[in-house]
Amino acid sequence: MRIVGYCSTTTYSQNVNTQKKAILAAFPEATIMIDHRNHDDDGLFEKKWDKIVSLNKMLVDVLVLESVTRMKAEPDKIAACYEKLYGNGVEMVFLKNPELNSEIFRAADQAVDAMECDMDSMFRFKDLLREIRKQQIEAVVKLSIEELESRSELAKQSVKQAKESGKTVGRKAGAKVTSTKEGPAKELIKSHDKHFVKDPAEIWKTSRIMEEAGISRPTYRKYLKDLMQEQVRMLVLNKFRQKQMAAKDAAN
């Protein structure tokens, strides 16, 4: 299985270590490709992304990115890039946006393919699914950009206020923060959250899970996203391992 992890920055001076660590933690076998985008007068940047977009299923099986906003420097072109890769048969995994993973949309396409209807109706359904993909991608990109800008502004204001009041900004060197709640909280989520449990009798309300685990809503969302990313990773790996086994059996 050929897995490519793609990282990008807006300048040559920015660090991609966080992106690399996240991708390799989920897919240790991934080959990392990096673009340092240069917003100068010529709009130049390295061509690795263009190479990835031109790849087809024969050259890459899975493309892994930290988030959908890493796909392209221009937000208005992200949906088109996604559609091209999707059409080329490349599976896409977004660690921070699992709701946009290509596997979800392919399941909808396969359901349409299995429908008993005339070709005109099928084409209309396919067009509708493409439009839904486009709208969902654009909505997530817009929200991600707004959240990033909001966090950046809040961080600047907090640092400014702290400095004005004479407080030390940031943690002391070598200080580490660990949580003893993470493991038990994630087990509660896996045992009682509707995303992981099918039996209605075992499904708890989010508020109850948070109360039992002793965690806040942002922490709950973080743990839920971690678990969903792991679930998607295992689904993708299992799917392609099954294909590899089938190919070997056919060869023998």
Does the pLDDT of residue 42 top 50, yes or no?
no
Residue range 85-104, pLDDT digits in tens? 888 888 999 998 888 899 88
Does the pLDDT of residue 139 top 80, yes or no?
yes
How far apart, in whole angstroms, are the C-alpha atoms of residue 170 and residue 215? 23
How far apart, in whole angstroms, are the C-alpha atoms of residue 5 and residue 27? 8
Residue range 115-131, pLDDT digits in tens? 777 878 878 888 888 88
Q: What is the DSSP string of 124-135?
A: HHHHHHHHHHHH
- Higher-confidence position of 70 and 163: 70
Domain locations in the chain as residue ranges: 3-144, 180-236
How far apart, in whole angstroms, are the C-alpha atoms of residue 204 and residue 197? 10
Quote the mean pLDDT of the chain: 79
Domain 3-144 homologous superfamily, CATH = Resolvase, N-terminal catalytic domain (3.40.50.1390)
pTM higher than 0.75, yes or no? Answer: no
pLDDT of 243: 74
Torsion on CA atoms 175, 188, 143, 48, rounded to nearest 10: 70
